[in-house]
Amino acid sequence: QVQLHESGPGLVKPSETLSLTCTVSGYSISTSYYWGWIRQPPGKGLEWIGSMYHSGSTYYSPSLRSRVTILVATSKNQFSLKLSSVTAADTAVYYCAREGLYDSGNYYMDVWGKGTTVTVSS
Partner 1 sequence: QLVLTQSPSASASLGASVKLTCTLSSGHNSYAIAWHQQQPEKGPRYLMKVNSDGSHTKGDGIPDRFSGSSSGAERYLTISSLQSEDEADYYCQTWGTAVRVFGGGTKLTVL
Residues in contact with partner 1 by CB under 8 A are 36, 38, 45-48, 51, 59, 61-62, 93, 95, 99-100, 106-115
What is the chain's alpha carbon radius of gyration, rounded to the nearest angstrom? Answer: 14
CB-based burial of residue 34 (10 Å sphere; 0-12 exposed, 13-18 middle, 19+ buried)?
buried
- For residue 68, report the phi and psi dihedrals to the nearest 5 degrees: -105, 140
Query: 8 or 100, CB closer to partner 1?
Result: 100
Query: 43 or 122, CB closer to partner 1?
Result: 43
CB of 14 to partner 1, least distance (A): 26
CB of 18 to partner 1, least distance (A): 19
Q: Give the DSSP H or E segment for 92.
A: strand 92-101
CB of 46 to partner 1, least distance (A): 4
Query: 90 or 99, CB closer to partner 1?
Result: 99
Distance CA 75, CA 93 (A): 26
